[in-house]
Amino acid sequence: MAELQRTLVLVKPDGMQRGLAGTILARLEARGLKIVGLKLLQIDEALARRHYAAHEGKGFFLPLVQYITASPVIAAVFEGPNAVEVVRSTMGATNPVQAAPGTIRGDFALEIGRNLIHGSDSPDSARLEIALFFSEGELLSYPRDTDRWIIES
């Protein structure tokens, strides 16, 4: 059986402003992933800098911080087998120009600075990012009756 993972997803400010939050979350949910954490929040500059610390010093860092703090976001934790890679493949490439049709970015976005969704890029960064946005008590483990039709045990 594949490794059960958790990963952080953000519906970025453009996704919220464009009314695409439901569509974006629905695609991940329909894929079979389980929502185990969910909140609406306004990211402040300090949180943005911590979340994107790996990109500090790059030319796009300040515009990226401005973008992610420009409007509320939805933060979600999705759980499932290989959740990190599955979310990444459902999102599509970082630059929507290269994102395949059928992916979220490939279907709904045009520019790298307005690419709608964040997803953790490894199990280690998922653990760090989830801890930035959620306390342990805000994450719920629960069985779904459909799990056995989605996950081969």
* Catalytic residue IDs: 118
Tell which one of 7, 90, 103, 115 touches ligand DAT (CB under 6 A): 115
Side-chain-facing half-sphere of 142: CA atoms under 13 Å: 9
Starting at the edge strand that comes first in sequence, how are the strands of the sheet with 4-11 ordered? 34-41, 73-81, 4-11, 117-119
Contacts (Cβ under 8 Å, ≥6 apart) of 83? 4, 5, 6, 7, 33, 126
Decide which of ligand DAT, Mg ion, none touches 60; Cβ closer than 5 to 8 Å per partner kind: ligand DAT
Q: Considering only the stretches 16-24, 38-46, 115-123, 140-148, report the one whose residues sit in contact with ligand DAT under the rule CB under 6 A.
A: 115-123
Nearer CB in complex with ligand DAT: 2/62 = 62
DSSP-derived 3-state class of residue 35: strand
| Cα(45)–Cα(57) distance, integer angstroms | 15
85 binds Mg ion (CB under 5 A): no
Decide which of ligand DAT, Mg ion, none touches 112; Cβ closer than 5 to 8 Å per partner kind: ligand DAT
- Minimum CB separation of residue 118 from ligand DAT in Å reads 5
Tokens 């059928």, residue located: 102
Decide which of ligand DAT, Mg ion, none touches 98; Cβ closer than 5 to 8 Å per partner kind: none
Q: Which residue is nearest to ligand DAT (CB)?
A: 94
112 binds ligand DAT (CB under 6 A): yes
